[in-house]
Structure 1
Amino acid sequence: MTVAIVLLAAYVLDRLIGDPRSLPHPVVLMGKAISALERAIRRFVRKPRSLKRAGVLLPLLVAGGSWLVTAVLLWLLSQISPWLALAAEAWLISTTIASKGLKDAGMAVYAELKKGDLPAARLALGMIVGRDTAQLDSPEIVRGTVETVAENIVDAIISPLLYALLGGAPLAMAYRAVNTLDSMVGYKNDKYINLGWASARLDDVANYIPARITALLLTLSAWLLRLDWRRCWQMVRRDARLHPSPNSGYPESAVAGALGIRLGGVNVYHGVASFRAYMGEPLRSLEPDDIIVTSRLMLLSSAIFVVLCAAAAFLWNGG
């Protein structure tokens, strides 16, 4: 019962308050730790082969350290009061979820598009994507926003909730550390191809099952929202594996199918064009309202999943 309550409380906390800037956020501390470790490693390790070996050490230290610090903190709080520990655990899990932040980021782009302010919409999109946005027109801004919201359903909501179910706040925090590592060092460029390979691979493994669960949840949500759930599932089966990421194609193809749009295409990163496989079929042109529908799919699928997690926790512990 307590696990179910903690999961529900964590999700509600995130939906209500998100990540207020006035409160310290664990991901900020993780980022500082990763940067410090990277500097230390590069100070003593320079050869490519040695950097590749050190790349294994990085996720072990960061993810393992995040798990250990969280577990010790909760144990210390439980010695003061079990209720204090439960409250802290709910808050810690809520910091690994970003449903409100994801919705707010998407709606910030939508608001500027509805006002017809393309420069402001490009700027808002640039806050949440790595691609160049300065030359994008309205449909491409919508595409970038929809792709980002869809992709992040996995690592910003479903994955942390699943790991919180399996191992409480310590495992959810370890997952968030893995995801933060991937976002900071998991690149296939000259700087990180050796040091970041293990972090990128671990992130792929951690999100493998959650991504496929997300595709199922989005299909169910599409049915509940009276969208094209059949095409949603059809596009998952047809297009998900075409994405360069082993996981991102599942939510993106599901959303593309449900909305009857095509995602993917040419993205520009630091002036260099890169083609990403198409997801879905262009039954119609992209419109700003697609951001709203994608947000609804995200919120409904995440609400369904947290209820399923709470029910599983309740039954797991004997009701």
Structure 2
Amino acid sequence: MTFSASHLLLAWLADLLLGDPPSWPHPVRWIGRLIEKAESFFYLETGDGGRPRLGAGSDGTPDGRLRVLGAAFWLTVVGAVGAAVTAALLLFHWIHPFLSGLLGVWIACTCLATRSLHDESAAVARALREGRLEEARGLLSRIVSRETAHLDEEGIWRALLETVSENLSDGVVAPLFYLALGGPVGGLLYKTVNTLDSMVGYRNERYRDFGWCAARMDDLFNWIPARLTALLLLAAGAVWGLDRRRGRAVVRRDARKHKSPNAGFPEAAAAGLLGVQLGGPGIYFGRTVEKPTLGDPVAAPDEKSFRLMTRLLFTTSALAALSAALVRGLWG
């Protein structure tokens, strides 16, 4: 199977040009259906309102049996995806190596989200700029997990900066990192791990134990990419003449305040470079969650800071793609 540095760069360029057309087939949507099917098999229920038959007790003690089932569920999904994509690449390579390379480029392209991250965030910014606050709230609710109905204009700008900086790691740098090391198989396995976390990695009654493995493995897979994203953001900030020294200081001071072991690094880097304060309280599933603040309020989040964040998004993506291609060339 051939997946060279040029294949990786071609996939990155294809993502920039095409994004993620909703009418096109997408492996992540297939992975989502597989996760739903596998969950219905592994997760045991009584049928009385969806409460687990094997669950944590009233004292919050973890249920080891549910964690074992969740680990088996995670391994089954990841193993099935890895086997399927490897078999497809081998089959296409047997027919003709060119077809295997073409399939690899398509798979790699679907792992990346630079264009879609920009398009979805820019749609929110456009609605705000034109004074359509309710529409901006609705569009924002499609790309963030918090409730948006109560957010004012500054709150929407802040949420946009947070989601672009955080998803820059999950949707761009991390997939490129695993594509560099493992080709299309590595890239799609990372997307599987990330999708598993987004579907079952919650701390509610149903998934607190069953989704524990998915959440922890997502933390593990993102540990290096999140820190690489912060470094690349600082490099991109230097390209645009932003205060890299302040960005580095905010990362050192605030990155580990975040509840997530990873999300704080790209968010803190962006906050420091832009001179804004991110984080703070937010409403999630009807409950106010107090989140630590990252950065200093040198300036208020606004359209100007979003434009700068857009420059950082594309510059960081380009730096990550070039770095990944270099690693792929040496590794391959």
- Pairwise TM-score range, normalised by the shorter structure: over 0.9
For structure 2, which runs of at least 5 residues remain unmatched after alignment?
46-51, 56-62
Q: Alignment identity in percent?
A: 40
Please report how far the alpha carbon of residue 292 of structure 1 lies from its aligned counterpart in structure 2 after TM superposition: 2.0
1:3 pairs with 2:4: yes
Q: TM-score, normalised by structure 2?
A: 0.93
Asked whether the 8 Å contact 1:107–1:292 carries over to 2, the reply is: no
- 1:22 deviation in Å? 2.1
**1:194 corresponding residue in structure 2:** 209
- The structure 2 residue matched to 1:46, chosen from 53, 59, 80, is 53
How do residues 271-286 of structure 1 correspond to structure 2 at under 5 angstroms? 271-286=286-301
Aligned to 1:28: 29
Structure 1: 5+ residue stretches without partners: none
| 1:225 and 2:240 matched | yes
SS in 2 for 1:268: strand
- Opposite residue 231 of structure 1, the aligned amino acid is R
User: Aligned AA for 1:40?
Assistant: F
1:72-221 counterparts in 2 under 5 A? Answer: 72-221=87-236
Q: Which amino acid aligns with 1:142?
A: W
Secondary structure of the equivalent of 2:177? helix
Which amino acid letter does the alignment assign opposite residue 12 of structure 1? Answer: L
Q: Deviations over 1:269-318 (max 9, x none)?
A: 1221001110000001111232221121111111011111112222345x
Partner of 1:13: 14
Q: CA deviation at 1:43?
A: 4.0
Give the match's secondary structure for 2:261. Answer: coil
- Give the Cα–Cα distance (whole angstroms) in 2 for the partners of residues 218 and 275 of structure 1: 26
2:86 to 71, 78, 86: 71
Q: Read off the aligned partner of 2:102 and give its amino acid letter.
A: A
In the alignment, the residues of structure 2 paired with residue 117 and residue 19 of structure 1 have an alpha-carbon distance, to the nearest angstrom, of 25
1:140 is paired with a residue of what secondary structure?
A: helix
Quote how far apart the aligned CAs of 1:2 are.
Answer: 5.0
Distance 2:268 2:110 in 1: 27
Q: What TM-score, normalized by structure 1, do the two folds share?
A: 0.97
Greater Cα shift, 142-151 or 1-10: 1-10
Amino acid at match of 1:297: L
Q: Secondary structure at the match of 1:282?
A: coil
CA RMSD, Structure 1 to Structure 2 (Å): 1.3
Alpha-carbon separation, structure 1, partners of 2:146 and 2:261: 20
**Paired positions, count:** 317
Q: Is the 8 A contact 1:260 1:283 kept in 2?
A: yes
Per-residue Cα deviation, 1:118-141 (whole angstroms, up to 9, x for no partner): 101101100101111001100000
CA–CA distance in structure 2, aligned partners of residues 196 and 53 of structure 1:
10
Q: Which structure has more helix as a fraction of its residues?
A: 1
The question of whether the paired residues in 1 share the 8 Å contact of 2:69 and 2:210 is answered with: yes
Distance 2:262 2:301 in 1: 23
CA distance in 1, matches of 2:71, 2:44: 17
* CA contact 1:106–1:291 (8 Å) conserved in 2: no
Stretch of structure 1 that moved more, 38-47 or 18-27: 38-47
Aligned counterparts of 1:254 and 1:156: Cα–Cα separation in 2 = 17
Task: Report the counterpart of residue 287 of structure 1 in structure 2.
Answer: 302
After TM superposition, the structure 1 stretch with the greater mean CA deviation from structure 2, 56-65 or 180-189, is: 56-65
